[in-house]
Chains A and B, each alone.
Chain A
């Protein structure tokens, strides 16, 4: 083998993009959870184990490819596209894994649902998901179903377009923080299994949700992915807040455009009984924290690459890399907008 490609562990890390590392760790944890719980829970976990092991193997293979040929022109396009796709698959698969992995969570009422509902009641003095019933008219339900249904394609299209249209440095910081947001939230899916108030508090509702076309679409969509599994923290909140806050720093008009959407998404998940308020709060906090954290993680890696004699950014792209000496996750400076 060529001397150039005999990496030791440290050199390998210099070539491994932080977003790749986060996804690999996340998938590894999913496989580990499934493997550890398999003897206790039984065969129902086998399919989860297989799926996540296959995802891990496939992703590692692709990472090996774009790490080996990191200067390829296709890397800056393929990495975000594959990463977004894997994260999207995990969105449906990890919630199910979480619920399946814990025996107490197999039958309602779920332990985590009860805890989340209790937190809501403590925070607000009453259960907001019950209080909101007074507004659950068919018209509102239909409107918020439209918002909810539109969110998933919109956020992933925004992600892809965002990755393709951003300057290299900003794009990679964006991707790292975004992956971090989802990875941390997925830990919640795996470790705090819950189904949301629509199932957790089903017996307490006096109003039946009724809507039209979009409500039906949402219902069918949820049925198609095997029902609501994984609600804490809310990634509808986390994903949209991340996009909004990140773009408020780098592209104000885009950030301000996301702002009302964030609020509508909050309202829609509550209106359709898919989330507790603490889910939204947790999702928002994770997203807000992952912006400086993602930036710090990414820029630290860039500095390490530079110190190791590699170009600052993979993909052979040139960019302005800010001084990292004074910032960190706690007090990160505003993002540089570089072209």
Chain B
């Protein structure tokens, strides 16, 4: 059910390094935490073994969540900052003991050492809990089975948006026993520093808001490659490629900023102006390269109209039959969400309850009132049309947007020519700056040698 819910919520769930998760033996998964209760769910559905999740105890105050947590055997921790909300940090001794028992039985444990879900540009300091669990297990229990720690990077494209994407990166497993042998006398703080570094290598870590904006702006321009956007239905950008592009640009940006600050700042200003101009026209960097060609437009029109007209009855049936539960879930999410960290959780978890209830009611009514044949047909059609309506809506939205863009560009050919030329000029400038980088290794080499994000800044000279 979680798998289904997440695959409906997210347009893409891309997983890297699944083979890094050992099938058996004690295992500690350590991840960054940016999307509240969705994070553990994403991990649970992508590993092939049973995972025990840890969470703060205050979550269990919600009766439904508490029930779910006890059903799933979630280990709760009491945080000091929740002391006024019913947390008792003294009880963490029992929680730690529970964790050690799980590991001793060869189980897998998942921990979010930041302790809280957040939207910061960089990792928050890790709590010492995971390090203590690992060190205690290795030193006091004798490390039976050989504890491994797998660092995880969770990257969301837009975590507060329905049908966004997530890239999950499992890093290289760390043999705790071996690490301790290499670092005798290491403290929990040392070990925490090591884990932090490994998780940090898997995620994007911005210095400030400006850096984040400049890099996303540059990535949008680079991703266009100065070419026309792909046809609808094939225009989904791989979330992994997007983040790889961003991290490649980031490493190049930092090096260049240190060595050529004037050039980088000038380019940054130019890119921001370009983006502002596109935004004023309601266009994206890719859309400016849309060809204004009557033949292409006619083919587009025929293909899209044919698809959307033929699919309209199915989509309408699906939309009507799912309207109420969808609106209820949306209403719950709006009512409960105080920040964007919890919006996805407030959609996904209520949908576990609301959709099955409505399905039961609808199907019960169908089997009660309709002849068996029609009831069977309705039963089969309900999930199919629901999913169909979802992707139909997305496609219709994109087709509408592309049509609107085409009409806009048709009216302003001069503006398109100018902006497309500017986009290509910026792209060339980015590439020219990239060529000044001392070494541009292949993505695989960089990834394997240092664990650092790959450098994807194209170097025309290489």
Contacts and interface: CB of A to CB of B under 8 A. Distances in A.
Nearest to B304: A165
Contact of B391 (A157, A253, A259, A260): A253
Contact of A167 (B234, B306, B391): B234
A164 B302 CA distance: 11
A260 B314 contact: yes
Contact of A253 (B231, B307, B384): B307
The residue among B234, B302, B388 with the most chain A CB atoms within 10 A of its own CB is B234
B233 interface: yes
A259 B384 CA distance: 10
A165 B391 CA distance: 20
A256 B302 contact: no
Contacts of B306: 157, 161
26 contacts: A161-B299, A161-B302, A161-B303, A161-B306, A165-B231, A165-B299, A165-B303, A167-B230, A167-B234, A250-B233, A250-B234, A251-B233, A251-B234, A253-B233, A253-B307, A253-B311, A253-B395, A254-B233, A254-B307, A256-B311, A256-B387, A256-B388, A257-B307, A257-B388, A260-B314, A337-B234
B400 to A, nearest CB: 14
Contacts of B307: 253-254, 257
A165 B306 CA distance: 13
Interface of A: 157, 161, 164-165, 167, 250-254, 256-257, 259-260, 337, 339
B4 interface: no
Contacts of A164: 299
Nearest to A135: B373
B391 A252 contact: yes
A6 to B, nearest CB: 38
Nearest to B392: A253
A139 to B, nearest CB: 14
B71 interface: no
A188 to B, nearest CB: 29
Interface in B380-399: 384, 387-388, 391-392, 395
A67 B290 CA distance: 32
B310 A257 contact: yes
Nearest to B373: A135
Given A161-B303, A253-B311, A167 B231 contact: yes
A339 B233 contact: no
Query: Which 4 pairs, one residue from A and one from B, show the smallest C-beta to C-beta distance?
Result: A339-B230, A251-B233, A257-B311, A337-B234
B234 A339 contact: yes
Nearest to A254: B307
Contacts of B302: 161
Chain B, interface SS category: helix
Contacts of A157: 306
B299 A256 contact: no
B239 to A, nearest CB: 15
Interface string B386-428: 0110011001000000000000000000000000000000000
B287 to A, nearest CB: 15
B378 to A, nearest CB: 13
Interface string B307-323: 10011001000000000
Contacts of A257: 307, 310-311, 314, 388
Contacts of A167: 230-231, 234
B224 to A, nearest CB: 12
Nearest to A252: B391
A222 to B, nearest CB: 25
Nearest to B300: A165
Contacts of B230: 167, 339
Interface in B344-380: none
B425 to A, nearest CB: 23
B384 to A, nearest CB: 7
A325 B391 CA distance: 34
Contacts of A254: 233, 307
A259 B387 CA distance: 13
Contacts of B231: 165, 167, 339
Contacts of A161: 299, 302-303, 306
Contacts of B392: 253
Given A252-B391, A339-B234, 20 more contacts: A161-B299, A161-B302, A164-B299, A165-B303, A167-B230, A167-B231, A250-B233, A252-B233, A253-B311, A253-B388, A254-B307, A256-B311, A256-B384, A256-B387, A256-B391, A257-B311, A260-B314, A337-B234, A339-B230, A339-B231
Nearest to A154: B310
A229 to B, nearest CB: 30
B309 to A, nearest CB: 10
A49 to B, nearest CB: 39
Interface string B138-164: 000000000000000000000000000
B35 to A, nearest CB: 25
B247 to A, nearest CB: 23
Contacts of B391: 252-253, 256
A312 to B, nearest CB: 19
Which of A165, A252, A337 has the most C-beta atoms of chain B within 10 angstroms of its own C-beta?
A165
Nearest to A170: B234
Nearest to B381: A260
A252 B7 CA distance: 14
B385 to A, nearest CB: 9
Interface string B216-231: 0000000000000011
A257 B307 CA distance: 8
A189 B34 CA distance: 60
A167 B306 CA distance: 19
A251 B306 CA distance: 14
Contacts of A251: 233-234
B229 to A, nearest CB: 9
